[in-house]
């Protein structure tokens, strides 16, 4: 199958990749662009380990062809924070023990990030509903929910103070 050039913006950087039309975004991210934060847990859109943001929407990168990302802006866990300045969600997940094996964590945090962008002040029920497309086998979600709620609170406090 012939390859096509895909130009996209990943975490603020313009990049390009050569991919067959059938290649999934998650494989292009992980294997060509060396962005291994998003993981593969099912390849059938159920688990959410591969969650990234595409033009301001959460998408499961295992169910998007790379070619569909042509000209789009993609944000992955690598784009949310860096070792010198972590995103509040990254801090709160650590503080509230919102992760164990870490495999679902990049997708979960990326999803939570979009959720809080859309609903900065969610109830616990809204958080539980909002992250229900992302599976976790380790934590039982209780501390994930706690982490997201704590992040929301801190983000709101910071914003109202500024």
Partner 1 sequence: MSATAESVQDRKAALKGLGTSRKRVEDARFTQGKGNYVDDIKLPDMLFGDFVRSQYAHARVKSIDTTAAMELPGVVAVLTAKELEPLNLHWMPTLAGDKQMVLADGKVLFQGQEVAFVIAEDRYIAADAVDLVKVEYEELPVLVDPFKAELPDAPVLREDIADQKEGAHGARRHPNHIFTWEQGDKGATEAIINEAEVVAEEMVYYHRTHPCPMETCGSVASMDKVNGKLTLWGTFQAPHVVRTVASLLSGIAEHNIRVVSPDIGGGFGNKVGVYPGYVCSIVASIVTGKPVKWVEDRMENLSATAFARDYWMKGKIAATSEGKILGLWCHTTADHGAFDACADPTKYPAGFMNICTGSYDIPTAYLAVDGIYTNKAPGGVAYRCSFRVTEAAYFIERMIEVLAIKLNMDAAELRAKNFIRKDQFPYQSALGWEYDSGDYHTAWDKALEAVGYKKLREEQAQQVEDFKAGKTRKLMGIGLCHFTEIVGAGPVKNCDILGMGMFDSCEIRIHPTGSALARLGTISQGQGHATTFAQILATEIGISADEITIEEGDTDTAPYGLGTYGSRSTPVAGAATAMAGRKIRAKAQMIAAYLLEVHDNDIEWEVDRFVVKGAPERFKTMKEIAYASYNQAIPGVEPGLEAVSYYDPPNMTYPFGAYVCVMDIDVDTGVSDIRQFYALDDCGTRINPMIIEGQVHGGLTEALAIALGQEIAYDELGNIKTGTLMDFFIPTSWETPNYQTDFTETPSPHHPIGAKGVGESPNVGGVPAFSNAINDAFRAFGLTHTHMPHDHWRVWKTANDLGLHG
Binding site for partner 1 (CB under 8 A): 20, 22-23, 27, 30-31, 34-44, 46-47, 49, 76-78, 81-83, 86, 90, 93-95, 97, 99-106, 109, 127-129, 131-145
SS3 17: strand
- State the DSSP code for 31: I
Give me the least distance between CB of 95 and partner 1, in Å please.
Answer: 7
Backbone torsions φ then ψ of 115, nearest 5 degrees: -55, -45
Nearer to partner 1, 93 or 152 (CB): 93
Nearer to partner 1, 43 or 73 (CB): 43
Give me the least distance between CB of 143 and partner 1, in Å please.
Answer: 6
Give me the least distance between CB of 161 and partner 1, in Å please.
Answer: 24
Give me the least distance between CB of 160 and partner 1, in Å please.
Answer: 25
Nearer to partner 1, 49 or 69 (CB): 49
Nearer to partner 1, 5 or 129 (CB): 129
Torsion of CA 54, 83, 39, 140, to 10 degrees: -100
* Exposure letters 43-72 (e unless 16+ CB within 10 A, then b): eeeebbbbbbbbeeebbbbbbbbbbebeeb
Please name the residues in contact with 109: beta carbons below 8 A apart, sequence gap of 6 or more: 77, 80, 87, 89, 90, 93
């Amino acid at each position: 199958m012939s390859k096509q050039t895909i130009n996209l913006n990943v975490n603020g950087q313009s990049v390009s990749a050569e991919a067959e039309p059938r290649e999934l975004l998650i494989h292009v991210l992980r294997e060509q662009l060396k962005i291994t934060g998003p993981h593969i847990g099912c390849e059938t859109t159920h688990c959410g380990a591969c969650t990234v943001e595409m033009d301001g929407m959460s998408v499961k990168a295992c169910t998007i062809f790379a070619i569909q990302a042509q000209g789009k802006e993609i944000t992955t866990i690598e784009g949310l924070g860096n070792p010198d300045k972590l995103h509040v969600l990254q801090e709160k997940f650590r503080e509230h023990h919102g992760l164990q094996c870490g495999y679902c964590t990049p997708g979960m945090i990326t999803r939570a990030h979009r959720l809080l962008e859309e609903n900065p002040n969610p109830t616990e029920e809204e958080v539980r509903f909002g992250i229900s497309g992302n599976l976790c086998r380790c934590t039982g979600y209780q501390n994930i929910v706690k982490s997201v709620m704590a992040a929301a609170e801190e983000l709101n406090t910071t914003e109202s103070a500024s």
